[in-house]
Amino acid sequence: GGAFALSHLVNIHSLTAVLALMLGLAVGIDYALFIVNRQRRLILDLGLSASAAASRAIGTAGSAVVFAGSTVVIALLALTLVRVQVLTTMSITAAATVAIAVLCAVTLLPALLGLVGERICSPKARTRLTTLRDRSQPHPIAATWVRLLIRHRLVAVSVAVLAAGLLAVPALSMTSGLPSGASYNTATAQRDSYDLVAEHLGEGYNGALIVVAQPASHDAALTDAALVDLVANLQRISGVESVDLVGLDDTRTTAVLSVIPASGPNDPATTVLVKEIRSHSGQLARAAQASVGVTGFTALAIDVSDRLTHILPTYLGVVLALTLIILLVVFRSVIVPLKATLGFLLSIAATFGATTAVFQWGWLQQLLGIDAAAPVLSLLPIIVTGVLYGLAMDYEVFLVSSIKEAHVHGHHGDDAIEHGFTQASRVVCAAAIIMISVFAGFAFNPDPMIKQVGFALAFGILIDAFVVRMTLVPAVMSLFGDRAWWLPRQLDRHLPNLDIEGDTLAATLHATDHDRPPSPLSRP
């Protein structure tokens, strides 16, 4: 709503609202699920009242939610560094949506839990508690899976890395660009008009280039001879179908020429042509005694794609550095941040590879309603990197904080991994399935931009949650054992203790309960 209220001041792309909607639904449900799950565990495991469990859940799981949400917001706001307006509006809108979701999770949700009261746990769950006093008994599926991973940890790591690596192979041939009419389904008006122009005029008429010429000096004017020479020189460049003078102002200080390529707007030959014209701009300018520049939607799309491609490694480096620093502070470990960073790289590489295979190579086209192969959306790699980073850190925090909590409470090595995994796996899997469902729904949208973003995010969550977090993380941590929590002494002295697991809070509340004098109104 706030974004559309400002639409009279800045241009709001249709993808902006869709991205905010996808993220709002995903993280809103994700964070609420994590807090409610912690409250239910406190009720069933420790026998706390609903109100006491809600307070404890906000103090523990709520802290993890605030941290996880903050990482998402930071990652999204970092997209403004690209300095592309459409990305800036997307990132600010999406970051504001996530911030609101976090705020609702730690303010509105506790109020709603207070209204629900003791009904948050069904009578069936309470009956099962009284019948089976041992609530530490792990979930059978989760316990079986994590024990299998621990028993065959080297095999699990090898298979997970190999699977992600194979999925990443198509990304080596990925080409990017902005969508054209050819990217739409044949049932749409955009595709019909594109096909009609291509059939009767030629592919190049769908991606005309605009060449602007202005006199070299302010007091000069463009002569007819200069314009004729400019048109002739442009026509000599390989890949040019035709050149026409389409505009000349009254003072003859600005001329606009339409250059029709022999190839379509998404054809690599058109990109080569734009670069060729620009490389000859000096010769063209001297011959026409004028400055010459290339613009138009097609040239702009090529420029944006090149800029995003060049800045992606820098942005990815910033995100990875952010991951290392934040997780180092949170978990007070060197191994955990390195593992999370490498796992995120595997998720991103596999996502880019699958997206390239589907949209550029044409795999599973009929399933998603795609009629023709097209380049990967140039905005997609950097958007997916930012969004998937935040969500991947959610899963990492939820899972590893549970394992560390078990470690702090006396479990060691594989026992801590098994205990923490069985406690966190259900909420992580449920959150991932919800997010995959939300994102996958947009993969069938007729808009090619929304379709690609929806598919990439859904596939990225699938790989990150079930291959990296649910398989690779416990197997790698089992390889390191208690050494996974190693931290140099100098860092240990200087790093703050954020207590994201809530162990300090639980100890404080426990001490307070014991030190509090009995109420004079209490019965003997």
Q: pLDDT tens digits for 81-92?
A: 777 788 888 888
Q: pLDDT tens digits for 270-297?
A: 999 999 999 988 888 888 788 899 999 9
- Structural domains counted in the chain: 2
What is the residue-averaged pLDDT of the chain? 84
Alpha-carbon span 135 to 362, nearest angstrom: 50
Q: How confident is the model at residue 506 (pLDDT cuts 50, 70, 90)?
A: low
Reduce the DSSP state of residue 214 to 3 states and report it: strand
Higher pLDDT, 354 or 189: 354
Model pTM score? 0.83
At position 206, the amino acid (one-letter code) is N
CATH number at residue 340: 1.20.1640.10
Last residue of a domain, one of 232, 266, 295: 295
Whether residues 107 and 223 fall in one domain: no
Alpha-carbon span 79 to 134, nearest angstrom: 48
Alpha-carbon span 394 to 397, nearest angstrom: 5
Answer whether residue 475 is part of any domain: yes
Whether residues 266 and 328 fall in one domain: no
Q: Which residue matches tokens 């005694």?
A: 289
Q: What is the pLDDT of residue 505?
A: 64
Whether residues 253 and 324 fall in one domain: no
Mean pLDDT of 157-169: 96
Write out the residue range of the structural domain in which residue 422 sits.
Answer: 2-178+302-511
Whether residues 272 and 308 fall in one domain: no
pLDDT for 195 beyond 70: yes
Whether residues 373 and 433 fall in one domain: yes
Answer whether residue 410 is part of any domain: yes
Q: pLDDT tens digits for 178-187?
A: 778 777 777 7
What percentage of the chain reaches a pLDDT higher than 70? 89
Mean pLDDT of 51-69: 83
Whether 391 contacts 72, CB under 8 Å: yes
Whether residues 162 and 237 fall in one domain: no
Helices assigned H by DSSP within 169-296: 189-200, 224-235, 268-279, 281-288
Q: How confident is the model at residue 136 (pLDDT cuts 50, 70, 90)?
A: very low
pLDDT for 502 beyond 70: no
Rg (CA), the chain: 29
In the structure encoding, which two tokens stand for residue 271, read together? 């990109």
Question: In the beta sheet, which residues pair with residue 244?
Answer: 258
Q: pLDDT tens digits for 412-434?
A: 889 999 999 998 898 899 889 98
Alpha-carbon span 2 to 96, nearest angstrom: 9
Alpha-carbon span 393 to 461, nearest angstrom: 11
Whether residues 137 and 260 fall in one domain: no
Last residue of a domain, one of 295, 324, 357: 295
Last residue of a domain, one of 295, 313, 329: 295
What percentage of the chain reaches a pLDDT higher than 90? 33
